[in-house]
Amino acid sequence: MTDTTVQSNAAQASPETVMQEVVAWRRHLHQHPELSFHEHETARFVQEQLQKLPNLTLSRPTETSVLAVLKGTAGPGRTVLLRADMDALPIEEETGLEFSSQNPGVMHACGHDGHTAMLLGAAKLLSAHPEQLHGEVRFIFQHAEEFFPGGAQQLVDAGIMDGVDVVVGEHLMSPVPTGVVAIQGGPLLAASDGFELTVQGKGGHGASPHQTIDPVIVAAHIVVALQNVVSRQLDPMDTAVVTVATIHGGNAKNVIPDTVTLGGTVRSFDENVRQELPKKIEQIIKGVCDTFGATYTLKYQMGYRATVNDHDVARELQEMAREVLPEVQVVQGKPQMGSEDFSAYMTKAPGTFIAIGAGGPGAAPHHHPKFTVDERALEHGLKLYVGAAKKLTQPAK
């Protein structure tokens, strides 16, 4: 679409005054959630807010994403991409909040409403003072993080990372106490792959199992045998998870079915391990099926890559976080087996993904009908976005 350069003047604002708008934006977005690849009204709302700000060049790199570009006037420097995701989940909300979802069966159950609001606040603060920035800041409001193949890869393919030197993302975390921010280099989130397996046997009467090739028995052996991939076929220093999460077969208690289907997820951090896992999994499946005389069809889908934070960028952000959030505890986080399509940006530039405490013990987990965030954490995310832009756009040392 055609870029629009915004020329209007914005009122002077501080993080404290902008916070009222950030909370209001978050609540509006929470009330009007949209699923992945359907964020039409969300993108329209975001663009409308950005159009009120000075010095931004706006574009729509995909139908339901928004990109704003701000050029600093303090001199040459690095180009930094700040990312927020915007999509919601197919969950019926049960929080009882006065600003609960108005869209039946759709809910912001992962904090993306807060991410979008925090980045809008950062755009407002930074766009009013381009003289405080070197280089260039790109604000990407991304669609479809929750649904593979993900919006991040589409945006990378659209060219938004061309010329970017550093990329930064943030995520509100309900299990982490408010007042804690985790920033560390190295592996953070796992690659997320999946498989769908159909075991083909020979059905028959449950009273005559000797006349069948029972795919239920074959499937049971496969489930148990797959646990050996991690426990006995990987280096103990490597980390992976193989989970069989679904099994479907048969519809009568006295009938052995012809087929059983299984589905699962595979998580890993190291790319070499990731590429070996499908081979090891299929080797076990084939061996079990051959033993019992069954056949199989395996569909294996490579999903999001592992999110691995750059050590140098993480170090710069740790220093910044302690400066702009002296009241907050900045810690080294631990790798988690969850996944994020933020990793797509890191194929083009080094970056760091920040975890922001927004709850604590007893808080509902992500993707839960009662999920919510402590809105005090929104100010932490806002200041981190602003601080990251100011620090990382400075010329590389």
Q: What is the DSSP string of 61-105?
A: SSTT-EEEEEE-SS-S--EEEEEEE--BBS----S--TT--SSTT
Same fold, 4-189+306-392 and 193-304: no
In the chain, what are the domain boundaries? 4-189+306-392, 193-304
- 338 C-beta neighbours (distance < 10 Å), count: 16
Tell whether domain 4-189+306-392 is in CATH 3.40.630.10: yes
CB-based burial label for 328 (10 Å; 0-12, 13-18, 19+): buried
What is the spatial distance between Cα 364 and Cα 175, in angstroms, rounded to a whole number? 8
What is the spatial distance between Cα 159 and Cα 62, in angstroms, rounded to a whole number? 11
For 193-304, give the CATH class: alpha beta
Q: Would you put residue 350 in left (φ > 0), alpha (ψ -120 to 50) or beta? A: beta
What is the spatial distance between Cα 256 and Cα 267, in angstroms, rounded to a whole number? 33
- Residues marked active site are found at 87, 145
- 263 C-beta neighbours (distance < 10 Å), count: 15
Question: What are the backbone dihedrals phi and psi of residue 331, each rounded to the nearest 5 degrees, phi first?
Answer: -125, 165
- 291 C-beta neighbours (distance < 10 Å), count: 11
Token readout for 383 is: 């200041």
pLDDT digits (tens, 9 = 90+) for 210-237: 999 999 999 999 999 999 999 999 999 9
Please identify every stretch of the chain with a pLDDT value under 70, giving residue numbers as ranges: 1-12
Half-sphere exposure of residue 29, counting CA atoms within 13 Å on the CB side? Answer: 32
The answer to whether 99 and 76 are in contact (CB under 8 A) is: no
- By C-alpha distance, which of 200, 275, 285 is closest to 240? 275
pLDDT digits (tens, 9 = 90+) for 6-65: 333 344 577 778 999 999 999 999 999 999 999 999 999 999 999 999 999 999 999 999
The answer to whether 103 and 12 are in contact (CB under 8 A) is: no
Report the DSSP beta bridge partners of residue 177: 359
Which amino acid type is present at position 338? G
Angle between helices 377-392 and 112-127 (to 10 degrees): 50
The answer to whether 271 and 187 are in contact (CB under 8 A) is: no
- 221 C-beta neighbours (distance < 10 Å), count: 19
Supply the pLDDT for residue 397: 75
